[in-house]
């Protein structure tokens, strides 16, 4: 019975981690190969996989040594680095939540504008999406968080699969794909998207306190994120194999038909029904993810500004607030005590009553109006930000990934690990950790600067395919529709790639 319970807990942890990293970052995987080429793109993917797996496992190892009151990454920051550690974690996490939700609004507005062309402006659709998700944002808590996350993950996978089917079908019969013209800016640009795709470390503490055998967490983390890396590679390689350097930063945008011509930006005529289904699946994901990502920020702001969610001193036979960290570690975390105390440690009993206590707090008439006004004001602020940067979604996503996600999910967990376990870590591992910190710090800073610059001062003459050599920056290397038409009317082959011989009326 105990083994069955452990297996069930393992499955829940694996699903939660998989859902956490299966999001909008997958849409940029083929674009990473377009930027850096297949060899450097694969190397970048492997390095970022290692960095994120290592940081997540490091976070788990520190949690194994932490006292029982440490439940979140913020608590871990407090335990490892004091008030500075907690505030650094909270600021970076809040920035991640807010910036990522802006990306969701921009992506949702783009997709709704494409699904309903010639109706309203993109600005209207961003506002419409925010209004439509406001009821979810006003839910006090997300009790159904696991089911909601699973639905959002399913939407992402469905959208990716349908988009790849359209891409491979539309580009069938293509000649050898063009290679990117490599430069440092392009290669470094892949860092931001990969950081956005991997963002698991912030979830580790919350998951670990729910597992009856937390010592299994490092293995579960490594195995799950390794499988996710294989999925990322499959998406990247499949998309790149059809178009090379001519795929944009967003897989869905590359396959959706233009409302006037019925053609995608890559020159083929996709099945509009499948394209619409792919957009709707991703729209489901961003709608769900918008609310899920905002709830931690709601919680922190309500605690900071409204005085809600104040921590309570738990009465337990094991420890109190004066108990030293060493004593609490001895009581609840040492291997000798884990089996005996797992059912009686306060982290379990407190967790069971958390939702009940929060529901009572939100139902209080004094708090209701305040938290509703606070949440709606925050959503309105996000809408304004999204409208300002609505045509720069790729740059906004890269900026978010390279800056605060890198800090929250890679840099801080490794620093906490080195702080607490420095004497126990072998020299080779210390060297690897320092290399990861240096590389991620340098690339993250550089990509934050370049993407931030492009956000504030966008380029006005950006080519259609900026990752290719100059002669292919504005020219399709393979126009599938032109090739098909030439075969129908028996035109010479050399005309296949020259769009001027095919007026728009041919493509309607």
DSSP, residue by residue, 82-127: HHHHHHHHHHHHHHHHHHHHHHHHHHHHHHHHHHSTTTS-HHHHHH
Q: Is the pLDDT of residue 154 over 60?
A: yes
Mention the CATH class of domain 2-477.
mainly alpha
The structure's pTM equals: 0.84
Which one, of 232, 211, 234, lies nearest residue 221 by Cα? 211
Q: Highest mean pLDDT: which of 53-57, 472-476, 486-490?
A: 53-57
| DSSP class of 143 | T
Q: 């005590």: which residue's tokens?
A: 337
Q: Give the Cα separation of 134 and 376 in Å (integer).
A: 7
Give the separation between CA 60 and CA 204, rounded to whole angstroms.
Answer: 6
State residue 420's pLDDT score. 94
Greatest alpha-carbon span in the chain: 87
Residue 500 pLDDT level (bands cut at 50, 70, 90)? very low
**What average pLDDT does this structure show over 466-485?**
88
Query: Domain residue spans in the chain?
Result: 2-477, 478-508
Q: In degrees, to the nearest 5, what angle opens at C-alpha 422 toward C-alphas 71 and 60?
A: 30
Q: Quick one: the chain helix, strand, coil %, rounded to 5?
A: 75, 0, 25
pLDDT on residue 486: 76
Q: Which of 366, 305, 295 is nearest to 139 (CA)?
A: 295
Name the residue with higher pLDDT: 343 or 481. Answer: 481
Tokens of 288: 């769900």
DSSP state of 460: S
* Spacing of C-alpha 260 from chain mean position: 33
Residue bearing the bigger pLDDT, 363 or 182: 182
CB 239 within 8 A of CB 167: yes
Are the C-beta atoms of residues 476 and 246 closer than 8 Å to each other?
yes
DSSP state of 500: G
CB 396 within 8 A of CB 389: yes
Per-residue pLDDT band for 461 (boundaries 50, 70, 90) equals confident
d(CA 442, CA 88): 19
Q: Are 160 and 27 in contact (CB under 8 A)?
A: yes
Q: How far apart are CA 405 and CA 54, in angstroms?
A: 15
Task: State pLDDT tens for residues 157-167.
Answer: 999 999 999 99
pLDDT mean over 370-383: 93
CA end-to-end span of the chain, whole Å? 63
5: Cβ contacts below 8 Å, ≥ 6 apart:
212
Residues 109-124, mean pLDDT to the nearest whole number: 93
Asked whether 205 and 78 are in contact (CB, 8 A), the reply is no
Q: Give the whole-angstrom CA distance, residue 32 versus residue 467.
A: 10
Residue 20 confidence (pLDDT): 86
CA dist 124 and 238 (Å) reads: 35
> What pLDDT score does 346 carry?
34
Q: Average per-residue pLDDT in the chain?
A: 84
**pLDDT of amino acid 146:** 67
The pLDDT-based confidence of 320 (bands split at 50, 70, 90) is very low
134: which 2 tokens? 């406001």
* Tens of pLDDT, residues 219-247: 999 999 999 999 999 999 999 999 999 98
Is the predicted pLDDT of residue 436 greater than 60, yes or no? yes
Question: Using alpha carbons only, what angle is made at residue 48 by residues 287 and 413, rounded to the nearest 5 degrees?
Answer: 80
The whole-angstrom separation of Cα 253 and Cα 465 is: 13
Q: What is the pLDDT of residue 508?
A: 36
Residue 29 to residue 27: CA distance in whole angstroms: 6
Q: Is 363:371 a contact under the CB 8 Å cutoff?
A: no
Nearest to 153 by CA among 7, 48, 16, 275: 16
Kindly indicate the confidence band of residue 3, based on its pLDDT and cuts at 50, 70 and 90.
Answer: low
Cα distance between residue 283 and residue 267, in whole Å: 24
**Highest mean pLDDT range out of 64-68, 90-94, 300-304, 425-429?**
425-429
């Amino acid at each position: 019975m105990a083994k069955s319970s452990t297996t069930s807990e393992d499955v829940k942890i694996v699903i939660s981690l998989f859902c956490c990293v299966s999001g909008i970052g997958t849409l940029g995987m083929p674009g990473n190969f377009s930027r850096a080429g297949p060899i450097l793109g694969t190397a970048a993917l492997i390095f970022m996989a290692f960095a994120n797996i290592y940081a997540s496992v490091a976070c788990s190892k520190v949690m194994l040594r932490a006292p029982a009151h440490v439940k979140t990454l913020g608590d871990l920051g407090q335990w490892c680095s004091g008030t500075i550690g907690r505030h650094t974690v909270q600021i970076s996490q809040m920035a991640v939540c807010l910036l990522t939700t802006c990306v969701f609004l921009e992506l949702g507005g783009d997709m709704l504008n494409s699904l309903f062309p010639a109706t309203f402006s993109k600005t209207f659709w961003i506002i419409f999406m925010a209004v439509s998700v406001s009821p979810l944002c006003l839910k006090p808590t997300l009790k159904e968080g696991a089911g909601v996350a699973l639905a959002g993950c399913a939407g992402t996978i469905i959208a990716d699969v349908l988009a790849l089917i359209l891409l491979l079908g539309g580009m069938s019969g293509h000649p050898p794909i063009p290679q990117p013209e490599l430069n440092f800016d392009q290669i470094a640009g892949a860092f931001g998207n990969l950081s956005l795709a991997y963002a698991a470390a912030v979830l580790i503490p919350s998951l670990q306190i729910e597992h009856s055998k937390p010592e299994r967490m490092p293995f579960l983390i490594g195995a799950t994120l390794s499988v996710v890396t294989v999925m990322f590679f499959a998406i990247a390689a499949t998309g790149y194999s059809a178009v090379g350097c001519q795929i944009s930063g967003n897989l869905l945008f590359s396959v959706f038909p233009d409302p006037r011509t019925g053609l995608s930006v890559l020159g083929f005529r996709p099945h509009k029904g499948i394209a619409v289904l792919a957009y709707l699946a991703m729209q489901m994901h961003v709608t769900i993810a918008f609310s899920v990502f905002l709830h931690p920020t709601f919680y922190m702001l309500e605690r900071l500004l409204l005085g809600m969610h104040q921590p309570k001193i738990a009465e337990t036979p094991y420890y109190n607030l004066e108990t030293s960290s060493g004593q609490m570690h001895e009581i609840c975390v040492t291997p000798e005590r884990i089996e005996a105390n797992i059912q009686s440690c306060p982290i379990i009993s407190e967790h069971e009553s958390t939702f009940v206590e929060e529901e009572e707090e939100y139902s209080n008439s004094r708090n209701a109006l305040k938290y509703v006004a606070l949440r709606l004001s925050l959503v309105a602020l996000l809408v304004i930000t999204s409208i300002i940067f609505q045509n720069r979604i790729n740059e906004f996503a890269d900026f978010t990934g390279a800056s605060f996600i890198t800090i929250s999910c890679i840099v801080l967990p490794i620093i906490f690990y080195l702080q607490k376990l420095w004497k126990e870590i072998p020299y080779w591992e210390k060297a690897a950790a320092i290399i990861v910190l240096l590389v991620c710090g340098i690339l993250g800073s550089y990509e934050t600067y370049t993407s931030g610059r492009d956000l504030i001062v966008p380029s006005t003459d950006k080519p259609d395919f900026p990752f290719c050599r100059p002669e292919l920056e504005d020219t399709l290397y393979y126009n599938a529709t032109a090739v098909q038409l030439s075969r129908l009317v028996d035109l010479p082959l050399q005309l296949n790639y020259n769009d001027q011989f095919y007026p728009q009326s041919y493509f309607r």
